[in-house]
Amino acid sequence: MKFVPVIFLTLISFNFSSAFAEQSIKLKTPPAELENWYKPANKRQVWLHTMFRLRREMQAIEEYAQENNKDALKKWITRLDKDYNKIADMIPEWEKEIKLRLIPELEMFAEKGDSIRVAKTLKMISRTCNDCHKSYQPVVTALYRSPSYDDIKIKNLEGTPHSFKDNMDELSKSVNRILIALDDKNKQAALLSRSNLQKQLDNLGNSCTSCHKEDAYPRERILGKLTIDKLKTLETTISHGRIKESQELMGKLAVTVCARCHNTHRIVSDLRNTLMPAK
């Protein structure tokens, strides 16, 4: 099993002393076959749907065991048996990670009406799921449930398509140009940079459909009416020479636009790029 070094954590003592220690964190990489059960390698999110069914099946068994409903237990244990075995079918390497012998035991205790042993056996099955999630879930999320932005092209101010990274660099420069101009009380430069920033954000918003398709909500949440209104107010405060108010508005935009988008997309994207560096 390979291990991938991801990040270094700085451990800070509770008394905020100046002594720092670095601890290397390593994450396990999942078997390569797992990719076959996620999009785009697979037309459907087969792995995810299997996991969702397993969770639902175990909940049903737990609830019906408390009611001692043998017919319902038989139905849901049969489904659990099928989906639990699918794990080994899809990823043969993980057959040793699961406990297939527990399913016949679960059936036996359910038939006997032994709800206590059913609950204990179900807990053992659940533990195999949790152990796997603890080892692999963060990496799997980064690798197979986060998009790559490498192929997304966004128009720059001249209308020429450029990379996502170039767009981020230009956005950062526009934000800083506004702040520099405000600090230097250069109204015209601040107004021009504000106009450019609005155009750049509009172009960025057009790229949302690359991942979210027909769903307009993600763009509206970050780059919708509230953001547009703040940018219009910023134009007014700059025009009237209200420097401090303009600087405060820039701070609010940084939190509600930049930070909100980064917290949603960049954290997982950075992890993905660390695990799968560009060739």
pLDDT at 7: 35
Q: Tell me the pLDDT tens digit for each residue of 155-171.
A: 999 999 989 889 889 99
- Which residue numbers in the chain have pLDDT < 50? 1-21
Task: Name which of 198, 197, 217, 201 is nearest 209 in CA terms.
Answer: 217
Q: Tell me the pLDDT tens digit for each residue of 192-219.
A: 999 999 999 999 988 888 888 888 888 8
Contacts 24+ apart (CB under 8 A), 115-120: 115/65, 115/66, 115/68, 118/61, 118/65, 118/73, 119/62, 119/65
pLDDT at 238: 97
pLDDT at 277: 66
